[in-house]
Structure 1
């Protein structure tokens, strides 16, 4: 029983990271109907910015987290303005191919600038102590990840539902042309969406580095794909769906590892994707709506 609770805690910690990345996918898709495959690489950049903030700038974990989020927000806006804005009225496939190109450019640009060698987050940077709960030891890293994820998800819900930019996002998501007629600056709203989604990915990169220690330039590929699966699982374009999908995927992976099939833990995400696309293509929170051709 203790082993099961321990695996559930591990799964929720991992799922929180997936959920933070998946939120960026789902927000961008909800507004511009684009799968931003470069999003996993923004997560990787966030991990490195956090690492250099701690080791070179000698910042604590929370200031490093804020620096990483701010830098990734700016990076996300740059990607949107340079790569995606000129393709706003292009075909979906053109935007998708561009997203893959941007992803490769970021990965190999990072390798060109700093080399391909991995780095390791220093030990002892988490200010939280482990706690014992029902006989299970929950590490300071797990508590930090859960705390950061919960705070950011509550903050995101507040931004989307209570602020002016959040209302603009929902209006643009519903109907871009009508939003434009109502005086909403659609371009700025889309940029703000990329900024918020990228900031969340940056935060995920830092907590991933703290949890797994090792970071390297191609680290964004698998978590990025898994976060996309989490977004589809919850219902792409639906913010609560991305949160639930991420947590669910993390728990499924942890339970698969606990059952002795750790070699299958990366593959199980894609099995989940196939199953969800067969039985519930709109995701857990999605509604089946016919798309006009």
Structure 2
């Protein structure tokens, strides 16, 4: 492998890893506050991509406008899902919320099949994302650079919100002790709704960029990326935003670089995520950035 090929594989790894990281952050934010795995996150991811497609196709929106409208709309859907499916179960046993999350996932997936149909759709890609950039022997599509740059920008915005705003302070307080947060006057339901909205917005953005990278839409498109992103969140330490980023990047680099150096293993690419998960659970069950916690009785 020459240097130019290595750089191209490196950039592809960075692109895939940043997408996994962006999806994983949504999982880890909800889990960090509610200790709940939001299984509907994969479908939220899928809706983001479809909303852009229909915004361009039906309403003739410019791509950038369709993307913004999609992110805002999907954030609203995330808040609605929390209001309908999760908030009534705040005080219920954790298994009830888990079953509700699975139900929401199947509901959104089947609604998408009915309304969007199961026919794969081709995605519109702006021309400026498809004109190759040449640096010596390295040939890179602008899309390969656009995805990680936008992903890391969104991550920085999220870190600012979590660590430098009053809403972020509420999120961190609830993640430590939800009952005490109630007593201290934190508007818990509003903060949780905001968390679902932000997580859903990030999922929508990652779904849009995934569709640009792999330009084919279908109602079950979020299943594999969502599952791998969940693995990335667990590997990084679910509940930790930094851990989600590290886990996503690690998984992306392992997938791309292993196939790059060992092409014969390309057929086993999806298995790498499970091998990484099993290895991490055996070595450090809490994940790279995770800390051991005890459930309160």
Matching of residue 282 in structure 1 with residue 295 in structure 2: no
Structure 1 residue ranges without an equivalent (≥5): none
Indicate conservation of the 8 Å contact 1:51/1:206, yes or no: no
User: Comparing 133-142 with 14-23, which one deviates more in the overlay?
Assistant: 133-142
Match of 2:35 in 1: 33
After TM superposition, the structure 1 = structure 2 runs for residues 246-265 of structure 1, keeping only pairs within 5 Å, are: 246-258=248-260, 259-260=262-263, 261-265=265-269
> In the aligned structure 1, how far is the partner of 2:100 from the partner of 2:152?
32
Change (3 A) 1:132 1:104: same
Q: 1:8 aligned to 7, 10, 21, which one?
A: 10
**TM-score using structure 1 length:** 0.95
> In the aligned structure 2, how far is the partner of 1:123 from the partner of 1:46?
15
1:287 offset after TM fit, Å? 2.1
Match of 2:179 in 1: 177
Deviations 1:244-268 (A, max 9, x none): 1111111111112222112111111
1:271 offset after TM fit, Å? 1.2
Match of 1:269 in 2: 273
Indicate conservation of the 8 Å contact 2:42/2:222, yes or no: yes
Deviations 1:165-188 (A, max 9, x none): 111111111111111111111001
1:91 offset after TM fit, Å? 1.8
Change (3 A) 1:164 1:290: closer
User: Comparing 161-170 with 49-58, which one deviates more in the overlay?
Assistant: 49-58
> In the aligned structure 2, how far is the partner of 1:225 from the partner of 1:31?
20
> In the aligned structure 2, how far is the partner of 1:123 from the partner of 1:188?
36
Indicate conservation of the 8 Å contact 1:42/1:201, yes or no: yes
After TM superposition, the structure 1 = structure 2 runs for residues 201-212 of structure 1, keeping only pairs within 5 Å, are: 201-212=203-214
Task: Say what the alpha-carbon RMSD is for the aligned residues.
Answer: 1.6
**TM-score using structure 2 length:** 0.94
> In the aligned structure 1, how far is the partner of 2:141 from the partner of 2:283?
37
Indicate conservation of the 8 Å contact 1:47/1:206, yes or no: yes
> In the aligned structure 1, how far is the partner of 2:182 from the partner of 2:295?
22
> In the aligned structure 1, how far is the partner of 2:144 from the partner of 2:223?
23
Q: Secondary structure at the match of 1:58?
A: coil
Indicate conservation of the 8 Å contact 1:61/1:126, yes or no: no
1:277 offset after TM fit, Å? 0.8
Change (3 A) 1:252 1:91: same
Match of 2:111 in 1: 109
Indicate conservation of the 8 Å contact 1:233/1:283, yes or no: yes
Q: Give aligned pairs, total.
A: 293
Structure 2 residue ranges without an equivalent (≥5): none
Q: Secondary structure at the match of 1:195?
A: helix
> In the aligned structure 2, how far is the partner of 1:98 from the partner of 1:264?
33
Q: Secondary structure at the match of 1:132?
A: strand
Match of 1:118 in 2: 120
> In the aligned structure 2, how far is the partner of 1:249 from the partner of 1:22?
11
User: Comparing 209-218 with 61-70, which one deviates more in the overlay?
Assistant: 61-70
